[in-house]
Amino acid sequence: MTRGLGRVFSGFKRLVTLSVMWSMKHPMYSVPLRSPSVRSMAVLPLPFGKPKDLSLPNATWGPEMMQLYEHYNSLCKVEVEAEGGQKKVPWKRIPGYNRLLKYATGGVYLSKMIQSKARLFTRNIREPGAAFEYALFINSEEEKCVGIWQVGHLLEGPPGHVHGGAIATIIDTVTGCLASLSGAVMTANLNINYRSPIQLGNTVVVESIVDKREGRKKFISCKVTSPDGTKLHTEATALFLSIDINQLLLGR
């Protein structure tokens, strides 16, 4: 039974992987996938339901998180003048899902059944409010990404405060989202200065901008502050390299 299902899954593996990336329109995979086979696969229906957007307010969001969400969400409705007298809405909220890939190729120790349960690291914990609650907003005109994050009790490092690795995850996600605006990337380098600890349960704002580009390289900087911007928690710089997503997925 398991073997039979495995065979069905492996047949669907590439199809679903690529369809999901396509259907979710995540900036990380926003470049059109060009091979004809990929294009035809993308229009086929998914064998599972529409993914739930988790970057929307839930009952665990505190007042600061809600205020920030409403602020950035309202920016997503503001039109600005673009070239040729056209109107544009530069801010967009990035929907947040449990996973980007249903069936990634996986490493040698990952069975096909387990692969099918793969989840985004930041969406690993199902309990709302327990870990990372977040929403990402991107401004493609200014090449800027802002993340609002409420950090739950399961992210404890030093007593009562957020683990440095969890902060690195937050920074990697926000800077990675910005870097992947024009195609798939991988983090090559992440350089973090922890300035002041973040209390568990607090909300922080993560702002990132593109500093420089050089060929495949994107240099991005990032700041993590309190919601009113008065307290600096963390500063970071990151280097992202654009990659061929097909090579990554096929493990070449």
Nearer to ligand CO8, 125 or 243 (CB): 243
The residues of the shown chain that bind ligand CO8, judged by CB under 6 A, are: 28, 172-173, 176-177, 186-189, 217, 239, 241, 243
- Is 219 within 8 Å of 191 (Cβ atoms)? no
List 53, 172, 211, 228, catalytic entry: 172
Question: Residue 97 CB, nearest distance to ligand CO8 (Å)?
Answer: 10
> d(Cα 156, Cα 36) in Å, to the nearest integer?
47
CB of 170 to ligand CO8, least distance (A): 10
For residue 1, the minimal CB distance to ligand CO8 (Å) is 35
CB of 57 to ligand CO8, least distance (A): 20
Residue 28 or 245: the one with the smaller Cβ distance to ligand CO8 is 28
Q: In whole angstroms, give the CA distance from residue 82 to residue 90.
A: 10
Asked about 172 being catalytic, the answer comes back as yes
CB 44 within 8 A of CB 131: no
Residue 37 host element (H or E): helix 36-42
Q: CB-wise, 28 or 224, nearer to ligand CO8?
A: 28
Our CB check for ligand CO8 shows the closer of 12 and 24 to be 24
Catalytically annotated residues:
172
